Structure 1
Amino acid sequence: MSRRETQVVPLREATAAWFRISLQTFGGPAGQIAVMQRELVDERRWLGERRFLHALSYCMLLPGPEAQQLAVYTGWLLNGWLGGLVAGVLFVLPGVVALLALSWLYVAQGDSVVVTGLFLGLAPAVVAVVLQAVLRIGGRSLRHPALVALAVAAFLCLAVLDVPFPAVVLGAGLVGWLVGRRVPGLAKPKELAPDDGPPPLVPDDALHTAPPSWRRNALVLVVGVVLWAAPVVVAWLLAGGRSSVYTDQGLFFGGMALVTFGGAYAVLSYVAQAAVETYGWLGAGEMARGLALAESTPGPLIMVVQFVAFLGAHRDPGGLDPWLAAVLASLLTVWVTFVPSFLFIYLGAPYVERLRGSAPLSAALAGVTAAVVGVIANLALFFAVHTLFADTRHVGWDHLGLELPVWSSWSWPAVVVAGVAAVLVLRLGWSVLRTLGVCALLGLALHLLTT
């Protein structure tokens, strides 16, 4: 075994560290990245600050959950491909188990007084949480009038013109690249912060590397694509070559994993529209409840797709026992959603230095990030309309236009909970998990009072 393939830290010790990290991954990607930085950089000192931010800057360019990809990347640096596999799997495992149990509870006991009351508090609180994401990302990324215009255009494309989400993302990247050629400040790459504190225990030149080559790339690509597609192909063959809820979910969420630029909030608008309106796997209100569950469990927020798949397969099991169908679809969706993250890291990590500091790439990313603000604003509108009001109406032409609420159908308990959540997260700065806990109890109390 060559020096480049040796374990930088003992794999057993690294596995214990990743398990510890996985139990603390609440609060979205910002909180998850902070946990990894504290554990790996500040406390264990396995990585320097520069190297950690170097890895983060690359993961921010990729589609998919950047925090989970950062776990795979840093695990790869410390222990090679096996370390990346351990880190990436452990990062999502607690959330998979927790959300599977909560999905079962929702389907089995969703009409009980207690569960109904808890969701009465959780779903409206999500409106405030998504609004907070709009303000945070917008305040940080819309630093030029062109980017503000791009955010507004992205919102209108999704909310009014029904433009497909991937087209919005790709178009935003193209516009950002074009504008960046005339506005140099738009494409200014983010500077890495200088190292603070003591140096890392592991020097940079001891971390794992892999010389890029076409042979290596072909091997990684073939193995990764085969593993990624295999469960969907098996589901298709078992269905006799016909479409089923399993192949539909595998193809949809597998394709989604390739276009989820900008984080989970950005893609959830696309997922919600397709899952509710195109496939009918669940209702709009249930989508908000699923997001509330994903917010309250560890792991990436995109894990909400597991809840979507669980409900869709339970209601259309295709000849299987509904509970078995729900579990299989849930695990299949997790598989096709997260396997590409490993593939992106294993393929791209050897080339990451070539990507850093590229002005055109930075400009394209600035355009995508600006569009993400508009995409998340559309998601906030979607959840607000379907959570705070019982009825909606379409304003526009045919399938184009806005879906607006019937104002007389407003739900005062939901509005009260949403208002409380907005105060807690926007004014008092409470964490998402703490806010959701308070709003769940408030929803239960209001439900008991009104019934």
Structure 2
Amino acid sequence: MSNSALSRLSELAQVFCKLGVIGFGGPVAHIAMIEDEAVKRRQWLTREHFLDLIGATNLIPGPNSTEMAIHVGYIYAGWLGLIVAGVSFILPAVLITGFFAWIYVNYGTLPQVSPVLYGIKPVVLAVVINALWGLGKKAVKTRKLLLIAVAVVILLLVLKLNEVIALLIGGLLGMIWLRSGDKNTPPSQQAHLIIASLTTGATLKATVASAAAATSNLANVPLWQLGWFFLKIGSVLFGGGFVLIAFLQGELVGEYGWLTQQQLLDAIAIGQFTPGPVLSTATFIGYVIAGIPGAIISTAGIFLPSFIFTALLNPLVPRLRASKWTSAFLDAVNVSAVALMVVVTLQLAVATLSLPKAPYLDFLAVAIATIAAVLAIRFRINAAWLVLGGAVVGAIAALLGYGR
């Protein structure tokens, strides 16, 4: 292996390990941080290509931010880069979650990190807004695309439509609208893509039904069965952490009895206050059920499909862009993905900046978010320093008796 290749792999490992450590705030925040490092600072790929990858990644199962890390690694350093970037992004969350699982099993308690998170959450909001502004300017190329974005926001907020379905509707209808005036393009391409999308939806439903099938209620869970359960989840999981919780509640607690209700709630709490992908919750659950081997097999099972799906998808994205019809579809999906980010950002802002009683607005959180946004947008301060600063402010606020 050449020195250049080793240098690229080392750089990928450093960048994504750092992002795995500071990656609070969920997939949208993670993607914002990846965009800042890979697009703005290092120019490993263009913002247009990054948007294409976001749009395409939203249409396959698995954690979007992890798959974006894998995409970037593949583009920058090939197959080894794909593995290094993905593992480096996942590993910090897995190790932190595993450590908390060890504490939980041996001492029966969870560490209190609320003060630190209080200061970090407004910073995450600022990082997301910074990325959303840049991606939105690239995605909203025309008035038609703007209207598509508004329509997707309405589908998500008013009709409460599933995220993946909203993206597919935005992509397919947008493709037809954007290309309807081009009489030189064969209509067969349009029909072909629609049929493929409908087939994908039907396959997803069948796979989810298969994943929900019962196995057996065991007191001592075999490792292969634990790994198979999380492999199925990783292969069909759309919608992120909330859908994951539904799977775990329905099967691990209700159907199989592998966890108690309280253990599941504690696992969810761990996933919420640790950085990196929320799917590292599987590490905690695996450790509780079967110790270190259980943690390893559960983690491998839930993340392995993301590597496979991304490896299959990445070479197809340039081909989608090469065709007029599929390029229009990709443009519409991209702007729909930005609309989804807008909805999530609004929800994050309400949860972060509001109070349950008068004055109903957390002025310290607003101040932290505002200062962080100025530092990120105007001075391009790295997200790692912003997160660290937010954590310090949160800890100081707790010492002074301020906080929720």
**Is TM > 0.5 for Structure 1 vs Structure 2?**
yes
Gaps of 5+ in 2: 20-32, 58-63, 104-108, 186-210, 250-263
2:400 is paired with a residue of what secondary structure?
helix
CA 1:118–1:174: 2 relative to 1, 3 Å: same
Corresponding residue of 2:390: 439
Contact 1:21 1:36 (8 Å CA) reproduced: no
Normalised by the length of structure 2, the TM-score is 0.65
1:305 counterpart (279, 282, 285): 279
Asked if 1:100 is matched to 2:94, the reply is yes
Contact persistence 1:389–1:407 (CA under 8 A): no
Structure 1: distance between partners of 2:125 and 2:318: 39
Aligned position for 2:134: 136
- Distance of aligned partners of 1:35 and 1:127 in 2 relative to their CA distance in 1, 3 Å threshold: closer
In the TM superposition, 1:231-380 aligns within 5 A as: 249-256=230-237, 270-275=239-244, 279=248, 289-290=273-274, 293-294=275-276, 303-306=277-280, 308-311=281-284, 317=288, 319-321=289-291, 325-345=294-314, 349=315, 355-380=320-345
Amino acid at match of 1:380: T
C-alpha distance in structure 1 between counterparts of 2:149 and 2:181, whole Å: 17
Paired letter, 1:159: L
Q: How far has the Cα of 1:446 moved from its partner?
A: 0.8
After superposition, the Cα gap between the structure-2 partners of 1:59 and 1:285, relative to the gap in structure 1 and judged at 3 Å, is same
The correspondence of residues 401-412 of structure 1 with structure 2, limited to 5 A, is: 411=362
Using the alignment, how far apart are the partners of 2:147 and 2:52 within structure 1?
A: 26
- State the 1:274 CA deviation: 1.9
Query: What is the rounded CA distance, in whole Å, between the counterparts of 1:407 and 1:324 in structure 2?
Result: 49
Contact 1:29 1:67 in 2 (8 A): no
Aligned residue for 2:350?
385
Q: CA deviation at 1:174?
A: 0.5
Residues of 1 paired with 2:355 and 2:368: CA distance?
15
Q: Quote the residue 1:195 is aligned against.
A: none
**TM-score normalised according to structure 1 size:** 0.59
Compute the displacement of 1:329 (Å): 2.7
Q: Tell me which amino acid in the other structure corresponds to 2:87.
A: L
Q: Using the alignment, how far apart are the partners of 1:238 and 1:13 within structure 2?
A: 52
Write the deviation string for residues 298-319 of structure 1: whole angstroms up to 9, x where unpaired: xxxxx3432x4345556xx4x4
What is the aligned-residue identity percentage?
18
- Give the secondary-structure state (helix, strand or coil) at the position aligned to 1:32: helix
Alignment of 1:116 onto 2:114: yes
- Label 1:124 to 1:275 Cα distance change in 2 as closer, same or farther (>3 A): farther
Alpha-carbon distance change, 130 to 100 in structure 1, aligned in 2, over 3 angstroms: same
In the TM superposition, residue 389 of structure 1 has moved relative to its aligned partner by 4.2
Match of 2:374 in 1: 423
Contact 1:276–1:282 (Cα < 8 Å) also in 2: no
Kindly provide the CA deviation profile for residues 2-53 of structure 1, in whole angstroms up to 9, marking residues without a partner as x. xxxxxxxx36762453123321244313522567756xxxxxxxxxx9xx99
**SS of corresponding position for 2:111:** coil
Which SS does the other structure have where 2:242 is aligned? helix
CA positional deviation for 1:353: 7.1
1:21 aligned onto 2:24: no
Q: Name the structure 1 match of 2:73.
A: 71
User: 1:439: Cα distance to partner?
Assistant: 0.7
Partner AA of 1:250 in structure 2:
L
- The 3-state SS of whatever aligns with 1:341 is helix
Amino acid at match of 2:290: L
Q: Distance in 2 between matches of 1:279 and 1:382?
A: 24
Q: CA RMSD in A?
A: 4.2
- Structure 1 residues 58 and 428, CA, compared in 2 at 3 Å: closer, same or farther? closer
Q: Deviations over 1:49-87 (max 9, x none)?
A: 9xx9999798567426345224325544xxxxxxx1x22
| Secondary structure of 1:121's aligned partner | helix
